[in-house]
Amino acid sequence: MPKKTIKFEIVTPERVVLKETITQVTVPTRAGEITVLPKHIPLVSILKPGVIEVKKEDDTLEVMSVSGGFIEVLRDKVVVLADTAERAEEIDVDRAEEARKRAEETKKNIIHKDDVRFADLSAKIEVELARTKAVKRWKKIKNI
């Protein structure tokens, strides 16, 4: 019996990050992390910054970081509309870590002054954290 698959597509306004036939995908939604398998019920949800894990047909894993967006699940198709997304192998982990530290530093300094900036920075920290996490996860899988 052929394996049941999902057509998976993740796009950002800038590019198509990944378009693959897969068997399962794990995404961080606002209500918590979910894993989608073939024949999932139609679902639409909001994503939060985090790590997306995709299992391809040949059982290899693909890891991506996402900074937010939406996921639409159809019967044999999953579409992720991400604000920004990167594949783990594309992320420079040192720079991501650095960017997060810098943002945290700035956040400490302005903590009582500007609400909008504070929120901006908090979001940025979350995104950078997601990127770092994605790389770590990917490295663990690949045993590097």
Kindly list the residues in this chain that would bind other proteins in the complex (CB under 8 A).
9, 11-16, 29-31, 34, 41-46, 70, 72, 74-75, 79, 81
Residue with smaller CB distance to other proteins, 45 or 106: 45
Q: How many CB atoms lie within 10 A of CB 2?
A: 4
Shortest CB 84 distance to other proteins, Å: 10
CB of 132 to other proteins, least distance (A): 23
Under 8 Å between Cβ of 36 and 27: yes
* CB nearer other proteins, residue 80 or residue 96: 80
Kindly state the smallest distance separating residue 83's Cβ from other proteins, in Å: 8
- Of 33, 134, 44, give the one whose Cα is nearest residue 93: 134
Residue 76 or 105 with smaller CB distance to other proteins: 76
Would you say 22 and 52 are in contact if contact means Cβ atoms under 8 Å apart? no
Q: Which residues contact 80 (CB under 8 A, 6 or more apart)?
A: 8, 9, 10, 11, 27, 47, 52, 66, 69, 70, 71, 72
Residue 10: CB minimum distance to other proteins, A: 10
Which is closer to other proteins, CB of 7 or CB of 102?
7
